[in-house]
Structure 1
Amino acid sequence: MGQNTPPMSPVAWMSKSYPDIVDTAEEDGSMVIVPVGSTEQHGHHLPVSTDTLLVESVAHAGAAQVRGSVPVLVMPTVWSGRSPHHLPFGGTISLRTTTLLSTLSEIADTALENGFDALLFLNGHGGNMSVVSDGVTEVGDRHPDREILGLTYFHLAETVIDDIRESDPGGISHGGELETSLMLHVHPELVERDRITGTRRDEPYELGRQDLFVDGPLAVYRTFDEYSQSGAIGAPELATADKGRQLFEHLQSELGDLLCEIHTQNTGHA
């Protein structure tokens, strides 16, 4: 089996009684993490739960790293996001932008009623990024006395990705080298190795996004069947479990550091 996140880990909101949740929230500098995933096709070799599984694993690992020094809980992962561009392949469940924004906002509003000082939306799907950003603004506007933040987890790998990746720009996109490597480390039993295939991302606009780490200022909408016959975009054939381990350990460390920083910002400790 892979390094699965225990469904009732010590930092899981769902593992606690309500007095325990309130007690955690009342600690100075307390925070709650809301992982936001998706249910969408990831080619022939990865499960439709890939984004949800990865963001959940990173959230729990980062929170577990600082457990004992930072009062933090991880909520159940929001398993559906905004994924209309994946619908042509099947297997995808997509929410409207307004539905996802309302869902995130209402989850945050009620979580904050417990008394948490900070809330972090931790996103695991590119199609959710603008909605998560809007959620930070909307929730933050309603709760000016709380710290509301949003982050897409794979951006934490930006400082090490060039040392780990083998693919050229276009190789780390949807179901490509990065996600497949992470899944080979975290959930290898769910990767169908004999079905690994992908198409290098080929964005015709020079100013458009070429890669998860080679972005451009031009927003372009296309369904993913215009990029790939299999639905996987990038170079998943270059993925390895060792790359996944290196990436995951870095993501865990970076998220742990961020949680400590958020805690410090909300306690006034030097």
Structure 2
Amino acid sequence: MNLSILRSHTVGTPPWSNGRVYSVSVACQATIHFSVLASAPLIPPGPLRRRLFSELSWPEVAQGAARTGSTVVWPFGAIEQHGPHLPLSTDALFAERVCTAVLDRLPHDLPIWQLPTQSLGFSHEHRGFAGTLSLPPELLLGLVVAVGSDLAAAGFQRLVLFNAHGGQIALLEVAARQLHAARPDLAVLPCFLWRGPEGIAQRIPEPERQRGLHAGLAETSLMLHLAEDLVGPERQADGPLREAPEGWSLEGQAPCAWLTRELSSSGVIGDPAGATAELGQALFEALVEGWRCRLQSLLNSDWPPGTLRG
């Protein structure tokens, strides 16, 4: 490496130096092997400075990936219709905002980072409504495998697929299995925003728990809390929801395949009429705290057994 280039890299005031200037003196050698710089401890130890993967430098990524239990969380959403009153980016916004809040509450010394949100998803069930953009399932699956493989090659040990779109739950579970089969050194954990955290169901009336599948009370309330300016005034139910045959369901146990236009002319499946920002705030807190506990548990564990570096 040319000495002038070396000086440009080694003389200055790093952002972590508290104003101190660091310099290097070279008496004889005019060149230096790049491998020496590549392996040098460029980032001082201590609390993580940033949680967003895209804001890290490559040495920070390399050092972070080498830590025991290094984990990356990848938010997934969709660009799809959410009735006449919610934005197309509803699921992507929810995934990103909840994920960011969760990571902000975790201790800053834990090795966990957030990837940029994957906003485009698999939304074939909402086709026929203007604005819905849906990726072919094989494209989204291939994307997960490709990105996950690169993370594994960098040394990361866990990847959480943090999904807020119900229409791609099964697809991301398949992608997770395929990725883990290709890279057994990477634990892959697909999850769905609305499944698991306590304190959600009891805040939603019983009819809406069963039928509020899309742009209903819960999603509208959460959006009123997070981005009220994006919520339109047309918040009416689309009439009685068509019931699945006895013993079957639209979601949950024994689910039927369905298209939104078969159930709703407005794109709303549920009743958003009673939505409030106060309910949205309560739901947000339950979601954030619930997922904070789950990720904290994961980070404290040795999952998957026998694969984490000591």
- For normalisation by structure 1, the TM-score amounts to 0.88
Is the Cα contact below 8 Å between 2:152 and 2:185 reproduced in 1? no
Is 1:257 aligned to 2:296, yes or no? no
Match of 1:89 in 2: 129
Q: Distance in 1 between matches of 2:287 and 2:246?
A: 29
Match of 2:237 in 1: 198
Aligned pairs (5 A) from 1:16-165: 16-157=56-197, 159-165=198-204
Is the Cα contact below 8 Å between 2:250 and 2:256 reproduced in 1? no
Unaligned runs of 5+ in 1: 1-8
Q: Among residues 227, 232, 246, which one is paired with 2:268 in the alignment?
A: 232
Match of 1:216 in 2: 253
TM-align CA RMSD: 1.9
Match of 1:4 in 2: none
Deviates more, 1:173-182 or 1:198-207: 198-207
**Post-superposition offset of 1:127:** 1.0
Q: Distance in 2 between matches of 1:43 and 1:51?
A: 13
Q: Distance in 2 between matches of 1:189 and 1:135?
A: 35
Is 1:174 aligned to 2:211, yes or no? no
**Post-superposition offset of 1:197:** 2.3
Larger radius of gyration: 2
Q: Distance in 1 between matches of 2:154 and 2:59?
A: 10
- For normalisation by structure 2, the TM-score amounts to 0.77
**Post-superposition offset of 1:179:** 0.9
Judged with a 3 Å threshold, the aligned counterparts in structure 2 of structure 1 residues 216 and 203 are, in CA distance, closer, same or farther, namely farther
- The 4+ residue runs of structure 1 with deviation greater than 3 A are none
Is 1:13 aligned to 2:60, yes or no? no
**Post-superposition offset of 1:99:** 1.0
For 1:209, what is the secondary structure of its paired residue?
A: coil
**Post-superposition offset of 1:210:** 4.7
Whichever residue aligns with residue 252 of structure 1, its letter is V
Q: Distance in 2 between matches of 1:203 and 1:106?
A: 40
Is the Cα contact below 8 Å between 2:200 and 2:286 reproduced in 1? no
Is the Cα contact below 8 Å between 1:39 and 1:79 reproduced in 2? yes
| Cα distance per residue 1:179-204 (max 9 Å; x no partner) | 11111111111111x11123354333
Whichever residue aligns with residue 256 of structure 1, its letter is R
**Between the two proteins, what is the percent identity of the paired residues?**
30
Is the Cα contact below 8 Å between 1:34 and 1:120 reproduced in 2? yes
Q: Distance in 1 between matches of 2:194 and 2:113?
A: 20
Number of equivalent positions: 254
Q: Distance in 2 between matches of 1:95 and 1:175?
A: 21
For 1:76, what is the secondary structure of its paired residue?
A: coil
Q: Distance in 2 between matches of 1:167 and 1:10?
A: 41
Q: Distance in 2 between matches of 1:232 and 1:205?
A: 21
Whichever residue aligns with residue 127 of structure 1, its letter is G
